[in-house]
Structure 1
Amino acid sequence: MNGINSMNESNVIHVPTIESTSQLVIEEINVTENKVDCSTRCAKWFRKFFMEGQVLDKEHTDAIKTLPHDASWYRTALVKYRRFVGPAISATVVYFLWLAYMIKWNMWYLFVERYEMSVTMVFGSLIAGMTSVGGGVVAFPVMTLVVNVTPNIARDFSLMVQFCGMTSASFVIYFMGIQVDWNSIIICSIGGVFGAIFGFEVVDQHLSPPRKKFTFTAFCFAFAFALFLLNRYRNRKTFLTVPYLNTWKGFVLFLTALVGGIFTALVGSGLDIVSFSVMTLLFRVTEKTATPTSVILMGINTAFATYWRSVIQYNASTDAFHYLLVCIPIVVIGAPMGSVIGSYLHRLVLASFVYIITTAALIGSFVVIRPLTPDLIGLAVGIVVGGGLIFFLLTLAGAKLLKQVEQIEEGKITMVDNGSVQSGVRTQKVFTVADNADPSVKNEHLNKGFQEKYYIDRTKCRNV
């Protein structure tokens, strides 16, 4: 009996030992699977927001697809590695001209006196290339609120530095074949020129320096708030270009650019913000297209504004030019690289940069500007509330326009070349829609526009 009991005891002891061992193995497997799942989720999250992929125009996309394996090294570089070749070309040209001037006039001492702006524009140039708010949204608040420079000097510097940086970034965008809306660029550039002239010659004379500071920072904050509201709709349909551009849509873009040009004349930045807002909020253009489009627009507008201040008015600040000299070697690399980096980031990441920068600028205005009079507070609050209301109305109008486009897709109504809406079938119209693909799909399948053909019946016409 003792032997049997001992055997039973050994069995009783032995069985739990086996079970506990197997349980440990199961727990180790579960822990490993959890680690794998966690790492996989983190990798998917990173790819979604920071490696989304570029939106390239059709010509460059076809060039990449048809590139032969035995292509020459220079053809491979110009097609496959444009993101490196483009910034290198623009930086080489600008550095050659800048070094020639600095060596000729021995202006190296400026780096000792004005180094703070060189550091500032490291971040400002990257933001200018990546987002739609331009380097002025960093330079203007820092110069007026931190360095205590007058708004006119800060405005002239913002114009000059964006002229150099945005022009370089525009070349890189064009060279790389990144998708932009050229129709919007042409229309908004014309409106921006007239707006800048009106702003320089009329509006600029009636605003005090504190009012200029609050006007700019409050307006930028209102735009960021509207962009935040829009991005709450994560899966909204977006387009690569303004859908079915016609006369009234072109007129809206022109008026938008007119207002943006006035802001550019006042504070050195603005056309990029208002054009971006109307394209995204009203016409539902994807940020991946609207951002590089606004960069090119700002390069053109600041080039004209710099010419007007320097040649026509002959009143550009010498201090602003000296600040420019210490920032040129920074911005000609930072802005193009920002464009390259921004073309890979998800639109929500780009929008987050806008939120942070504009909020910090507005808070800095309230903290630094003294005396903080009631009229200044009222101005800032009024611009934030009024601007937010305008942008909100643009969002509502954009929703209605989107419904019209969806009806066109469903074949309920159609659009002819003059912009009128009709009913029926026959005669074709090509329309490009931005792809809102699942982010889990491989990068080469992301952001590729697809084309659908719509037909128009000329027998039944109904203008709306």
Structure 2
Amino acid sequence: MSILPQPQPKMWIWFLCLGGFYLVWAWLVFYQEQWSEVVSHWPMAAAMAVGSYAAGSTPMGGGSVGFPILVLLFGESAELGRDFSFAVQSIGMSSAAIFIFARRQALAGAMLKGALLGTTIGLPIGIFLVAPWVPGLHIKIIFAVVWGSFGILHLWRIQEIAGHEGMTDFDERWDQKAGFLVGLLAGAAVVSVSGVGVDMALYTVLVLLCRADLKIAIPTSVVIMAFASVLGILTKLAFTGVQPGVYGNWLAAAPVVALGAPLGVFVVDLIGRKPTLIVVAILCVGQLLWTLLQESDNLGALGMSISVLAVGACLLGFERLRIWGARLVGERSEHPQRDTNIAAVSQPEA
């Protein structure tokens, strides 16, 4: 299992990209006279100051904060929340991904390569063939269930997840196949509907099945979500269009997330990932409870029951992955002669 890249940080690359973005943003705002849009959508910019930090420091994209704020707090449609997630993450997560590459942080290279290919195929399929058939209420519930169960997982298993070191060394071809399957299924079934999710799916496989160190799993999840966000927003702009209101919210939030997400990558190395994960996990569980309470009348007893069962199914799936990962670790210990492909894990310079 390859761990990429190697040392020798080149931070000038990130600074150059960041400067280029701010020049384009300034041209849109001042030359195109869009300052009024920025001012009118300042609450989203303030909210994404927190969301962008979570995007860079956890396996939860900025949309995991932007979506519930737009939909649950501001009362906007779930479709707008999804499209905004694509748009804002295409800046914030991309900036964080470039920052990660510039610092030469360790990544699960083989699994990431497979996930990139799977997402390239699965996400457009989901945008064209899955998302149009999913009602707004179901988008809310899918988002709430996926991220709520993810939060419960971390509150339940945080000690174990935070204690992993290195990564279980499987065959590189196995990693690529696993990554491809994650990218294909998550891209088609989750990301296309909610605007987030492939980062969480890949991260879950890495920490539960491969027992990967958070210093490897989280940066890898940031990179795949950055790619999915750019692919998602470009696909929608080219073929389906985006919901009205996305541009104004994006214009206000983009300059915040461009700096906030990389800041999360940097700061979390100083304070540790465990406290941040616990806080974000609590928020994920909170938005699940908020969504179910807010939509209880629309869901009815049957819908509420199905939602709770869906959370339970996700948790059972997580536990099966964990058990499988433990079994594979035992098999590797019993058969150390099996050939694997693993490079040294590089650590970023302080």
Write the letter of the residue equivalent to 2:262.
P
Paired residues, number? 346
Give distance in 2, aligned partners of 1:207 and 1:434: 42
Which residue is 1:107 aligned to? 34
Which residue is 2:64 aligned to? 137
Which residue is 2:146 aligned to? 219
Determine helix, strand or coil for the equivalent of 2:170: coil
Contact 1:260–1:270, Cα closer than 8 Å, also in 2 = yes
Work out which of the residue numbers 309, 332, 339 in structure 1 matches 2:258.
Answer: 332
Unaligned 5+ runs, structure 2:
none
Write the letter of the residue equivalent to 1:357.
L
Identity %: 22
Write out per-residue CA displacement over residues 319-371 of structure 1, whole angstroms, 9 at most, x where no aligned residue.
Answer: 11121001111111101111111233434224213312211211221233353
Work out which of the residue numbers 416, 437, 443 in structure 1 matches 2:339.
Answer: 416
Which residue is 1:279 aligned to? 206
Write out per-residue CA displacement over residues 385-420 of structure 1, whole angstroms, 9 at most, x where no aligned residue.
Answer: 000000000000010011122234xxxx41136xxx
CA 1:266–1:407: 2 relative to 1, 3 Å: same
Stretch moving more, 229-238 or 324-333: 229-238
Determine helix, strand or coil for the equivalent of 2:35: coil
Contact 1:244–1:431, Cα closer than 8 Å, also in 2 = no
Give distance in 1, aligned partners of 2:193 and 2:342: 41
Contact 1:239–1:432, Cα closer than 8 Å, also in 2 = no
Greater share of residues in helix: 2
Which residue is 1:320 aligned to? 246
Give distance in 1, aligned partners of 2:214 and 2:102: 20
Contact 2:122–2:183, Cα closer than 8 Å, also in 1 = yes
CA 1:372–1:336: 2 relative to 1, 3 Å: same
Residue 254 (structure 2) pairs with residue 290 (structure 1): no
Determine helix, strand or coil for the equivalent of 2:332: helix
Give distance in 1, aligned partners of 2:331 and 2:346: 17
TM-score, normalising length: structure 2? 0.90
Write out per-residue CA displacement over residues 101-149 of structure 1, whole angstroms, 9 at most, x where no aligned residue.
Answer: 1122201111332221111101011110110011111011111111111
Give distance in 1, aligned partners of 2:271 and 2:263: 13
Which residue is 2:134 aligned to? 207
Determine helix, strand or coil for the equivalent of 2:245: helix
Give structure 1 regions of 4+ aligned residues with deviation exceeding 6 angstroms: none
Write out per-residue CA displacement over residues 147-185 of structure 1, whole angstroms, 9 at most, x where no aligned residue.
Answer: 111111111110010001111111111111111122222
Write the letter of the residue equivalent to 1:256.
V
Unaligned 5+ runs, structure 1:
1-55, 64-77, 418-428, 436-443, 447-464
TM-score, normalising length: structure 1? 0.69
Contact 1:211–1:376, Cα closer than 8 Å, also in 2 = no
Give distance in 2, aligned partners of 1:166 and 1:234: 23
Stretch moving more, 262-271 or 354-363: 354-363
Residue 178 (structure 2) pairs with residue 255 (structure 1): no
